[in-house]
Structures are given as structure tokens and as C-alpha cells.
Structure 1
């Protein structure tokens, strides 16, 4: 969780910039964001990740879509940087009290994948059906596009395997395997498969909000910079949605190597004051992971 938040904070000052405008020497100095946020701030990435983790813990690992959406609606006024699809879903909820309905015009943005790492942390890899069902339920609170759900499944699969000690070199293969499954159920995930094989190049204008592109970027980062301390600045250097890509890379690699978080010399600049009790919350997720399998 701390590695996730660190990646988020590292990327916030550079969000939306093309790669060529990002100074690698400045990234780890965590300059104050241009948008007026305090230095070291995290964004909606961390806020929603923590909401998902608490929702999982409070429901014994069996949250419904509405459980998360009601929590998000309550928290939203204090969350920085909510994305366009999430804002639309919240507006619909406030107007109707209902979940967003599937539509042919649903945008496959990355808001569901952005928050889904706790599902992987809480569900062992031997229970893929449970993990995928949770990805779908927690995605559907705001994101109904099939590609958005597919990207969430890929991130959760990597996070689950990372907790179990899969080597960084193995995680791209985990992503590729999950992309094959999601490709059969939600649609093509060619970019993720290409990234896992080293055949994907980051867009010259930066990583967009597209869910599949974001998942591919995270796989690319893990493949090219498997060490946490190197991965987070590298993720930011890709430009575009810098905070999300760095947060997700941090969430996966931090699960693989928790001690690596202590090697982030700039970690003290990250403001975690808005998210107290992460240690206790992590313990509750760990307890869920040990729960006997009694169904999907």
C-alpha cells in the first residue's frame, strides 16, 4: 500500500505531461504539483485503492458493486483528481441511486484498474474465479466497458502473484496469461500480451487513460525496471497518466518486495496523513487471503 501511494505521489506533479518535458532529476525531488495541491500529495488513485481495501475488509471479502459505490460517493468531495468516467458514474448515482448501466458508448478508461490492486493482495492466485468476480463487481460500480474490467483483472492477477513471491521476471507471464483469459471473455488485450513479450513501446505523447494501454504500460515498467526504486521514476518518465502507472507498478512490486519500500530515499516526502491505519488494514487483507475457499 505504501509503495502504491509513493508511486502515486511521485507521478502527481507530472501528470498529463509528455515524456520529453519530464526531467528525471526532478522526479524524485517531488516538486509541488502545479494544480495547487500540497507537495507529496496522493490522488484519487490512492484514495480509491484504500476505499477498495476497506470495502473488502469490512465485507469479509464479498463486496457488491453498490457497497463500493456508496462509499465512493460519500468520500468523493474530499478526493483529488477523480477521472471522467468515475465522475459520470457518481453523477448518475446521485441522480438515480443506481449503478451505471452498460452502454455501447462506455469509455474503457483506467479507473477500475487503478483501484483494484487490493483484490490481488487479498485473494490467492489459486482462486482466480473469486479474484475475477471481485474485479468485475468492483469495476461495475463506475466502469462497465469490457476493456476496463479486463485491465483490472490483469492488474489484480499480477498483484496476487507478487504477494506470493513470484519473481519480477515472472510477472509479465502472469499478465500475459490473464490477458489470454480476459481476451476470451472481454475482448482483445493484444497490447498487454505485447508488453509481456517486450514488443510494446510507450506512446510518444505519454500513457493515456485507456485501460488496456495503462495495463500494458505497467507490464512494460515491471519488465524493464523490476526493482521498485528504479521502476517508479521510470513509470513517471513515460508521461501521460504518470500517477496511475507509477502507483500500479508500486502496488505490484511493493507486494513482491516490501522491504524495497525502505530504500526509497524520497519516501519521507510522501504525505500519507489522509490515510491512517494502513498497517491494520493490510493485516485485515492478509487475513482475508488466508480464509478457506468456500465458493467463488
Structure 2
């Protein structure tokens, strides 16, 4: 079953990314006016400043960078190395002209330019606190053991160091990675969330100290709304307006985990909600999908959806995840 969940997590990242691609970085108001609720893959709108021309089912930088992390892990026989991952992300950026096409988030762009200019990897991302580390962290959760939270956070820190070497970014990414890792091992949400909060606490002592809201406190608030039975649209409005759906780690990560919890780990429902939310929809979708896929396994994602993702993006996600699986064991 754990193999199914590892595969489901990586495919779930791509699912959420592609589902949220058409609405990324649009306001909730604009998304609702244009699409209502997004329930299927749609092409990039002609008036979208980033994804114009994207095909239905095409994913963005979130999944592409997660794939680069997978490839780095496999290349290094399961070892997670900051320099290897940073240069793999830089390679992706150069291959896709990401600096000119506005595919990169602010922290990643600044850090990768630093690396291009010869700044050491350990110093390049010293101030990165946006959600770029968390958006591509699923592979780390996929191969890290949930019973050893400190080792998991070690892996998250190493994977994040090149672009997001701050306590805010590392803690947020660790919270999501621990949730994914634990969801592979159990379907008990209390255990999943408990480990996520433990990883957050450990992560807050890593990287460069910077200021920011607490992803942990924000997630706990969102979970209260869900447990109290808020109706779906009320919850969505609260997530967007209070927790936030922007590019900050402290907004995107708690919102994504809350959506996965609300969807009860259903990858289709979770990613559809994320795509319809407004804000950084593709990234929140990728994180939500990664957690839901880890919880429910690849069987919860319809085969035609999986095949469309792999065909449109010319990648074998299932095979890649299967190659990662032995490193978890």
C-alpha cells in the first residue's frame, strides 16, 4: 500500500498543479467570475500573463521542480544534497527560460541568480521565505520515515537550503513533508497533524531566523473552522481572506493542509477546491494534491486523469515515483 501512496503523492502534486494552472495568481473574485468552480483540467486563459498557451492538463514549475528533486535523489542513490538539488533547479530554470518567462517565485529567482553569480549554495537563499521550498517538497516526504521527525527535517533543510534557507520556509516545508510522510504510513489524521506540528517546531530552529506569522497557528485555526462544520463556501472565503492564499509560506502551506483535511484526503476534491480558491492556486493545489495522494494512493486518481497528465507533460510520473520508493524503505 505504501508504494501506491508514494506514487499517489507525486501524481497528486501534478494533478493539483495542472488543475490550478488556469487560475493561478488571480483573485478569488476573478476566479469565481471566470470559472465558477474548477472541476476539470482547463487550458491557460488567453489573457493570463503567465500561462497563456498552456494546454489543459499541463503543469507548471511546482511539479517540474519536484521532478528535478526526484531526479537528484535518484542520481545520488537516495542522498539529499543541497548543492545537487539547487543546481538541478537552476538547470530547470535555464532549460525553460524561467527568468524571462516569470515562472520563478521571488525567493527562488533571487537565490538562483546568486548561484549563477558564484554565491555558495549555502548562502544563496539566505532570505527566502516564500512557498517555493514547500511547493516541491513532496519527494522529501515520500522518502523520509515518519517515525524520525528530526531526520525528516534534516532532509527538508538540505533540500531547501539553496533557495529558502530561513526558519519560516523550512518549518513550513517540514510541516507539509511530515504530513505527507505520515499519510503514507497511516490514515489517522490526528497522527498526521501531530507529526506535522512536531516537524514545524523542529524546523523553526533551522536556517536563518526571520520574521513571519506562524503556519502552525494558522493551520490550527483553519482546522477549528472545519471541525466546527463551516459550510464549504464559508470555509473557502475564510481560508482566502484570513489564512491567506498568496505566495507566502505562512499562507499557502496551512491553507493547503487544511484543504486536504477538509477533503478527507480525496485528491480530486482537494485539488478542485484549491484550483477554485483564488491566489497561488497552482502551488496550493500541488501541495494539497501531494498530501491527498499520499493519503489515498494512486487508485484515488482516475486512470484517464493520470494518463492525461503524463501525456500532456511528456513524463512518466508513476515510474519516477516507483524509482524513489526503495529509498523510503
| TM-score, normalising length: structure 1 | 0.87
RMSD value over aligned CA atoms?
2.6
Check if 1:202 corresponds to 2:239: yes
Question: Against the structure 1 CA distance between its residues 26 and 212, is the aligned structure 2 distance closer, same or farther, given a 3 Å change threshold?
Answer: closer
Give SS of 1:7's match: helix
Name the CA distance, whole Å, in 2 between partners of 1:274 and 1:248: 19
Tell me what 2:116 maps to. Answer: 94
> Would you say the 8 A contact 1:228–1:261 is kept in 2?
yes
Tell me what 2:145 maps to. Answer: 124
Name the CA distance, whole Å, in 2 between partners of 1:36 and 1:103: 29
> Would you say the 8 A contact 2:28–2:240 is kept in 1?
no
Name the CA distance, whole Å, in 1 between partners of 2:149 and 2:294: 18
Q: Deviations over 1:192-219 (max 9, x none)?
A: 3333444893133961111121111012
Give SS of 2:121's match: coil
Tell me what 1:261 maps to. Answer: 301
Query: Which structure 1 segments of 5+ residues have no match?
Result: 291-296
> Would you say the 8 A contact 2:36–2:276 is kept in 1?
no
Check if 1:27 corresponds to 2:64: no
Tell me what 2:48 maps to. Answer: none
Tell me what 1:70 maps to. Answer: 87
Which structure is higher in helix share? Answer: 2
Q: Deviations over 1:85-116 (max 9, x none)?
A: 11111111111152262788x24100001111
Give the one of 166, 180, 198 matched to 1:145.
166
> Would you say the 8 A contact 1:176–1:193 is kept in 2?
no
Name the CA distance, whole Å, in 2 between partners of 1:138 and 1:103: 11
Q: Deviations over 1:146-201 (max 9, x none)?
A: 10111110111011011113335653343333334434656844223333444893
Give SS of 1:204's match: helix
> Would you say the 8 A contact 1:172–1:219 is kept in 2?
no
Check if 1:220 corresponds to 2:266: no
Give SS of 2:240's match: coil
Check if 1:51 corresponds to 2:68: yes
Tell me what 1:231 maps to. Answer: 270
Q: How far did residue 76 of structure 1 move?
A: 1.2
> Would you say the 8 A contact 1:192–1:213 is kept in 2?
no
Q: Deviations over 1:13-52 (max 9, x none)?
A: 0011122222465522422213323222110100011111
> Would you say the 8 A contact 1:172–1:196 is kept in 2?
no
Query: Which structure 2 segments of 5+ residues have no match?
Result: 1-9, 46-50, 227-234
Q: Deviations over 1:102-156 (max 9, x none)?
A: 788x241000011111111111112222211110011011112210111110111
Give SS of 2:176's match: helix
> Would you say the 8 A contact 2:310–2:317 is kept in 1?
no
Give the one of 132, 136, 144 matched to 1:111.
132
Pairs within 5 Å for 1:148-167: 148-167=169-188
Give SS of 1:131's match: helix
Bigger mean CA deviation after superposition, 147-156 or 170-179: 170-179
